Structure 1
Amino acid sequence: MTILVQSGGAPISPDALRIVASPASIPGEGLPDSQGATPDPETGAAILRLRRGLVWQFAASGPGIWSERELLLLDAERAEARLTVYPRTRARFRLGPTAAAPLPASLRARVESPPGSPRVALTSISCPLAERVVTCELPATPVDLVVEVPGHASLYFHGIVPPASEGLDLGVRELHPGGSVVGRIVDAGGRPIDRASVRLSPERSGSALTREFVAAFRAAPEVRSGPRGFFQFVRLAPGDYRLDATSERQGSAARSGIEVLDGAEQALPSPLALAPPQNVELQVTPARTPGGARWGVELMRFDAAGSLQHLRQIEADDGGVARTGELTVGRYVAAVLDDEGQALGGLDLEVPGPPLVDVVLDLVEIVGSIRLGDEPIAAELAFGGWTGLPIARFSADEAGQFAGVVPRPGVWRVDVRAPEVGVERRLEGVRVDRQVGSEPSRVEIELPGTLVAGRVIDEQGRPAPATMLTAFQLPEGAFFPAEVDDEGRFRMRGVGPGTLRIEASGVLRDGRPADADPLRIELAEDSRFEHLELVLRGKRTLRGRVVDGAGSAVVRASVELAAFRSDGFPLSVFLDDTLTGPQGEFELSLSAEAAQGIVTTRGGGTTLRARRVALAGDATLQLAAERAGGELRLALAAPLDLRDRSAPLPVVFQDGVLLFTGLLVSWANERGVSPGQEAILIVPDLAPGEIAACLLTSAAERAVLEFAPASFAPGPECERGYLASGGVLELDLR
């Protein structure tokens, strides 16, 4: 490994430097000693021989030297890394009184680059605290300093310029115990807005409006954004909050679903962008519902957590025009409702955006029938899925007949529910073709006469009725639940040919969470499995901690785990997830069979990072997370639609470890980057490392990904590149 050293200030002789590489904590591994080397006087390069597969932290040391710190995972062929060093100086400030618990002997702090200044890699440092005076060693260059005080709001010092020859006195800073919220206000072009009015209000969802909660809110008055658009609310009680920001010239914006924990800081993952409120007109065609009534429109808005929240419902006029009323900046969904409340149409809205939007419903009348084997059945059907948009629901009678309209011709996902005969099924690829003339389209749904039945028991053979049982089918890629009765029995009919995976989870009689080793069976058209057994076993607890490169706890980071057996078979098609606590700690329930896994961490001021971990035994995971990352841009042939299983699927590997595509999209949305209708996937704040991006185009490839993700690896046809901290990597998958 070659480390290149460059000076960010006055010239520094390489003879005065020593480059040190220290291993970060890796679960289940004995750690090697730190390695050191002196840079070559002519090239400024230091060569270190380091063990691969570990996370290493690099820094330079020397008299009067301040060095960046880089955290790198050496899982791929890396030739070199770069470090910038500066003359070292100090900044001091005094803390005001506090009624909270005693403070530690040192405080963690972050050193960041101010806008428009030379880049300093985001670095965590330790600032000694003695007699209420905090001293931080800093580079002699313009920086931002953020000092974290346990149980209190962080202290922000923007644009300080410590002189190289002497220290800088930053005065006295008051301490504010409790929770806090920080963020930035920008205009629609991303430029910071000074002196915007920012208000905080409690939300009822997820929070009881206790006296303490309301009192803490009333104690948090309106604040004004600073020159960089920065704002901070302090002394907040735990609960859910909503932000409203306004500016006379730039307009307004709001963000809801902001959760504050006791004594923790909640930083908005993306700036709050202001724009004047906008009225949007939706022109629905045809102007009337199939029943001759006016269309309804339900407006929903994405909150800070990416969840859809109901905003209001409006009615279109006789000409099919629905007026939304004033909408602030944000992302919305508009669902077009018929006279029975079915969402026959839907679209995403961005504000600011076009003031007039056309919603064209290409209605197709259909008649159809549904059969189970040779017999018609009464059933409920949902074209688009029970939770889809759009959705058209039908009720088939005892003769299996149904009729109505769907909002477009083409291929549909159809959910079928007939509990009387044990059918809970999702069908992919049901085609609706428009007929010539006025004849309705005919849709025939034939479910095979397959039977999958059995029972769920505990290790003593006793029935386990309080069980959630889920089936996952390939090649359709359908999920559907199955009912478990009081005797632990389950029964599924009409499941199509292919591979069926059955998972069960529940609670044992002693209250412990439990799950069963998944079953995998192969079904033909007439298969009958009548005596299957799933045995619930108590889960164990996986504990761990997430820290940054300097060892500081990462609070409110999301930790997601995909667990596998020793043979690589996934123990669930779902990710287990949790948030880290005040000390960076986390707990996850782990299947007794889990031997290995992929763990991703994101948020809490850190980037998105995936890593493989060993899960055998009772080891506690210590996960290192980077504070600074880069941006990945994937050029696609068409906009990404994860709901369309026939569409090519981009897959990304980070230092050889699979990053699940749904997680990438979720992370991008959290950071305020929505794919929308653009044929590009932008993933911000991705941890640095070797990136491989591939395109899956066949059902067989998707099956390998879904049933054996632990063994999935990038092939020679994948696009590759290195994503540097603060850099942008563009890969073309078209």
Structure 2
Amino acid sequence: MVAGSAASAREILVKVIPRNAQGTVSGKLTVARVDDSSVRRDVPLYSGEATIDIPSDSEWTIKLDANGWWAEPQIISAAGAMAKVVLPAFQTGVVRSRFTVAANSSMPKIARLVVETPPDPKTPPEIPRHTTFECPVDDTGAWSCRIPATALDVAVVVDGFIPVYRWDLKADPARDTILSEISLRRGASLVAWLDRESAKSLTGLAKARLLRGVSSDPSITGERLAAPVAEATFGKRGGVQLAGIPPGVYLLEVTAEGFAPSRTYPVEILDQREAVLRHPIQLEPPLTLRLTIDPPADPNGAPWSIELRRNGDFGRRTDATPITVRRLENEPGVFEVRDQSPGRFTIEVADARQQFRVNRRIEITSAIDAQQTISIPLVRVHGSVTFGDEPIAARLFFGRRDGADRMIVDANREGSFAALLPRTGTWPVDIAFTGDEVTTNMEVVIADDDREIAIDIPDIEVTGTVFDASGERAAHADVDLMTKGDLIGPVGTRTNSDGTFRFRGVPAGNATLSARDRWTGEESQFVSVPVAEGVANHVELHIESQRKLAGVVTSLGAPVAGASVSAFPILEGGSTQVRATSDMIGKFELRIPVSTRRVLVNIRAPGRVLQSYEVAADDKPVVFDLAAQGGTVRVLYPTDSWPVILRRDGVLIPSIDLEQWAYEQGRPNSEAGSLVVPNLAPGMYEACLLASSKCVQRVVTANSVVEIDLR
């Protein structure tokens, strides 16, 4: 009898059953009351069995105390219906090793071996996850402990150090199992598991790579940031640890032969902590993309050519190397792409002459949407080109010379042309005069009910001279001219050997010009001039020397690597955007004109937020501490009123940064009249229509969703 009287007692039979060895377990059971552990007794085992009498309405813990054996403690209840309890027991073996620590660290006194299994297993493991065995450590770092002699994945855990994993460890009950020396180090780590079916299906090694959440950047810093932060191979039962990771937000990529790459994002790593993925990673078979181009042939009846590139996980840039695409000879217009994983892609479809080109973005999430039809409407248009009221031969680039959608059309000597375009509506057009280096651009509108276009190039010119930072005439400097802000984009030329330049065919209105030294990157301020027929304009552009604006990007006090930093020096007439990427310790440098006094800075940090600042341009490094979490803003506006002006706490967020961030967050501005931007830093947001004075303000907090209606 453990406690109480015989009348109130309940008899329970406990059988200890060996699981990994033959024979009978000898020893005793220690029985203790759950609500008062001081009430306890030892009950001997006879032939692996013991009978325990416990009072009614009580709960008791039973533990096995048998030399060379271990069993998971169990709780029994007198109130339940149980009269018999089975206690699975495992024969044990001794595991030994030795720790080493850095010179500035003291040797620990205790270590723990913690059993690890995949989270959310389909069937419970024999030895529960996180079962812990304590291991004393002596002054030399030697340690040992006794664990069940069955195959286990274990973490060697020492407080203040990164856990060290030993996959598929099996102690030998007959002799000590000696592990290699373990060097303890401080820092952060990540543990992930494959789901059971994926682990069983592997025919080779599965590999894990941890990548920074950064946009593609061709700079040296970008290349360093794109390199894996940590790499490791999964164990036999599907576990992996990546250690020595700086704090930050990352993407986990898992690859294995016969499976599509798996990507998990975001994965947040905190300093001096181990992160564990909540759910096992499920590997899927690779996808075969089937792309059908409609119509199946280009405007000249020849087969289309297509180029497919995977979009970066954190930016608009695409992979430099195109994906191999196979044209199906017996199915016109059909292309097949094998061994792909879900993701976002850019498809370029071009005719055989490379004069008709369209780009489309698609997102593939599963085998269901891996078959896609790319429809390319062919709209017939015709028209004429005149220069100063005289017909002129010219080459027209509908969509601009370097546009994603671009059609090259030649007008003959009479100025006449005919073309096929993929849509009606407004088109920016670059115009190159045949036999002349002069280029201009303008917008043309193609109506649904009127396919005739008259392109009238005004006989207006703008001339000027560029001076370098030393005051000398700048030969071969780049000069840009814009007549409608950034809606069409600039047209460019270069200065002659005497520093002069000339633009012809400039549309009437206001023209904004700037110059840039091709060798130093130094730029002039923007200069705006009125442009009209019969008005002579000669503009002087003075290139300025530059100086450094240094900064550090942090969040929650920790450096943020790989943040995209864009800045506009606040200068009269405007300025050119400059960009940088924060390095491994969050630092960046920008080059700005020496006359700059204040700078508009926008920072996009994957896994964090888009946050805007206006700062003084001085010699002191600026710390930009980003909010850890943001909210979502949905702006509704009249479809003919883009772009919308958005400010946070009175600081402008340029539309180019807004659109880029929305795209990087998986919310491209594809719906006319609506812009959805997730993960904007908390603050007071004001949205305004550029074409009117209408503005609406809303407060954004962390994890909030705010709608700003400008209609």
Contact 2:208 2:252 in 1 (8 A): yes
Aligned to 1:528: 536
Structure 1 position 394 matched with structure 2 position 409: yes
Judged with a 3 Å threshold, the aligned counterparts in structure 2 of structure 1 residues 512 and 394 are, in CA distance, closer, same or farther, namely: closer
CA distance in 2, matches of 1:218, 1:559: 21
Structure 2 unaligned residues grouped into runs of 5+ = 1-97, 106-118, 120-138, 140-159, 165-181, 196-201, 266-279
Deviation of 1:344 after TM superposition, in Å, equals 4.0
Contact 1:634 1:730 in 2 (8 A): yes
CA distance in 2, matches of 1:428, 1:650: 20
Deviation of 1:407 after TM superposition, in Å, equals 2.4
CA distance in 1, matches of 2:510, 2:191: 48
Judged with a 3 Å threshold, the aligned counterparts in structure 2 of structure 1 residues 454 and 597 are, in CA distance, closer, same or farther, namely: same
Aligned equivalent of 1:541, options 508, 529, 548? 548
Aligned to 1:125: none
What SS is found at the alignment partner of 1:667? helix
1:528-607 paired onto structure 2 within 5 Å: 528-529=536-537, 531-550=538-557, 552-565=558-571, 569-570=573-574, 572=575, 574-603=576-605, 606-607=608-609
Contact 1:548 1:554 in 2 (8 A): yes
Aligned equivalent of 2:696, options 716, 719, 731? 719
Structure 1 position 288 matched with structure 2 position 308: no
Contact 2:395 2:431 in 1 (8 A): yes
Judged with a 3 Å threshold, the aligned counterparts in structure 2 of structure 1 residues 325 and 581 are, in CA distance, closer, same or farther, namely: closer
Judged with a 3 Å threshold, the aligned counterparts in structure 2 of structure 1 residues 95 and 652 are, in CA distance, closer, same or farther, namely: farther
One-letter amino acid of the counterpart of residue 558, structure 1: S
Judged with a 3 Å threshold, the aligned counterparts in structure 2 of structure 1 residues 219 and 692 are, in CA distance, closer, same or farther, namely: closer
Contact 2:688 2:696 in 1 (8 A): yes
Contact 1:254 1:272 in 2 (8 A): no
What SS is found at the alignment partner of 2:409? strand
Contact 1:484 1:490 in 2 (8 A): yes
Deviation of 1:545 after TM superposition, in Å, equals 3.0
CA distance in 1, matches of 2:556, 2:305: 53
Q: What is the aligned residue count? A: 509
CA displacement, residues 372-410 of structure 1 (integer Å, 9 cap, x when unaligned): 213443432111222323321123344434333222333
Aligned to 1:358: 373
Structure 1 position 425 matched with structure 2 position 446: no
Contact 1:288 1:320 in 2 (8 A): yes
Deviation of 1:480 after TM superposition, in Å, equals 1.7
Aligned to 1:659: 653
Deviation of 1:654 after TM superposition, in Å, equals 1.2
Structure 1 position 479 matched with structure 2 position 490: yes
Judged with a 3 Å threshold, the aligned counterparts in structure 2 of structure 1 residues 514 and 298 are, in CA distance, closer, same or farther, namely: closer
Aligned to 1:515: 523
What SS is found at the alignment partner of 1:311? coil
Contact 2:467 2:541 in 1 (8 A): yes
Contact 2:391 2:414 in 1 (8 A): yes
Aligned equivalent of 1:685, options 671, 675, 679? 679
Aligned to 2:362: 349
Aligned equivalent of 2:517, options 503, 506, 519? 506
Judged with a 3 Å threshold, the aligned counterparts in structure 2 of structure 1 residues 331 and 458 are, in CA distance, closer, same or farther, namely: same
Aligned to 2:340: 327
CA displacement, residues 93-150 of structure 1 (integer Å, 9 cap, x when unaligned): x996469xx99xxxxxxxxxxx9xxxxxxxxxxxxxxx9xxxxxxxxxxxxxxxxx9x
Structure 1 position 407 matched with structure 2 position 409: no
Deviation of 1:605 after TM superposition, in Å, equals 6.0
1:594-633 paired onto structure 2 within 5 Å: 594-603=596-605, 606-615=608-617, 618-633=618-633
One-letter amino acid of the counterpart of residue 515, structure 1: E
Aligned to 2:286: 277
Structure 1 unaligned residues grouped into runs of 5+ = 1-93, 104-114, 116-130, 132-148, 158-171, 188-194, 257-270, 436-440, 640-645, 702-714
What SS is found at the alignment partner of 1:287? coil
CA distance in 1, matches of 2:591, 2:304: 47
Deviation of 1:626 after TM superposition, in Å, equals 2.8
CA displacement, residues 346-373 of structure 1 (integer Å, 9 cap, x when unaligned): 3221112634433333323334332221
Contact 2:431 2:439 in 1 (8 A): yes
One-letter amino acid of the counterpart of residue 569, structure 2: A
Judged with a 3 Å threshold, the aligned counterparts in structure 2 of structure 1 residues 231 and 380 are, in CA distance, closer, same or farther, namely: farther
Deviation of 1:504 after TM superposition, in Å, equals 1.0
What SS is found at the alignment partner of 2:523? strand
Contact 2:468 2:517 in 1 (8 A): no
Contact 2:601 2:614 in 1 (8 A): yes
One-letter amino acid of the counterpart of residue 421, structure 2: V
One-letter amino acid of the counterpart of residue 392, structure 2: I
Structure of higher RCO (CA pairs closer than 8 Å, 6+ residues apart): 1
Aligned to 1:636: 636
What SS is found at the alignment partner of 1:537? coil
CA displacement, residues 576-605 of structure 1 (integer Å, 9 cap, x when unaligned): 121233443332112122122211223276
Deviation of 1:423 after TM superposition, in Å, equals 2.7
One-letter amino acid of the counterpart of residue 312, structure 1: T
Structure 1 vs Structure 2 CA RMSD = 4.8
Aligned to 2:146: none
CA distance in 2, matches of 1:313, 1:679: 35
Deviation of 1:526 after TM superposition, in Å, equals 4.0
CA distance in 2, matches of 1:678, 1:155: 50
1:160-171 paired onto structure 2 within 5 Å: none
Aligned to 1:303: 312
One-letter amino acid of the counterpart of residue 336, structure 2: R
CA distance in 1, matches of 2:554, 2:217: 31
Judged with a 3 Å threshold, the aligned counterparts in structure 2 of structure 1 residues 621 and 467 are, in CA distance, closer, same or farther, namely: same
Contact 2:382 2:453 in 1 (8 A): yes
What SS is found at the alignment partner of 2:490? strand
CA distance in 1, matches of 2:620, 2:702: 28
Judged with a 3 Å threshold, the aligned counterparts in structure 2 of structure 1 residues 453 and 355 are, in CA distance, closer, same or farther, namely: same
CA displacement, residues 17-53 of structure 1 (integer Å, 9 cap, x when unaligned): xxxxxxxxxxxxxxxxxxxxxxxxxxxxxxxxxxxxx
Contact 2:475 2:498 in 1 (8 A): yes
CA distance in 2, matches of 1:647, 1:186: 49
CA distance in 1, matches of 2:445, 2:672: 27
CA distance in 2, matches of 1:487, 1:526: 25
CA distance in 2, matches of 1:425, 1:370: 13
Contact 1:294 1:316 in 2 (8 A): no
Deviation of 1:491 after TM superposition, in Å, equals 1.0
CA displacement, residues 638-683 of structure 1 (integer Å, 9 cap, x when unaligned): 89xxxxxx55333322112111222122223334444445875443
Contact 1:296 1:314 in 2 (8 A): no
Aligned to 2:664: 670
Judged with a 3 Å threshold, the aligned counterparts in structure 2 of structure 1 residues 231 and 621 are, in CA distance, closer, same or farther, namely: same
Deviation of 1:722 after TM superposition, in Å, equals 2.2
One-letter amino acid of the counterpart of residue 568, structure 2: A
CA displacement, residues 48-76 of structure 1 (integer Å, 9 cap, x when unaligned): xxxxxxxxxxxxxxxxxxxxxxxxxxxxx
Judged with a 3 Å threshold, the aligned counterparts in structure 2 of structure 1 residues 580 and 481 are, in CA distance, closer, same or farther, namely: same
CA distance in 2, matches of 1:293, 1:362: 16
Contact 1:607 1:687 in 2 (8 A): yes
CA distance in 2, matches of 1:404, 1:434: 16
Deviation of 1:469 after TM superposition, in Å, equals 1.5
Contact 2:483 2:511 in 1 (8 A): yes
CA distance in 2, matches of 1:224, 1:182: 14
Judged with a 3 Å threshold, the aligned counterparts in structure 2 of structure 1 residues 276 and 611 are, in CA distance, closer, same or farther, namely: same
What TM-score results when the alignment is normalised by the length of structure 1?
0.59
Judged with a 3 Å threshold, the aligned counterparts in structure 2 of structure 1 residues 659 and 245 are, in CA distance, closer, same or farther, namely: same
One-letter amino acid of the counterpart of residue 705, structure 2: V
What SS is found at the alignment partner of 1:669? helix
Deviation of 1:493 after TM superposition, in Å, equals 0.5
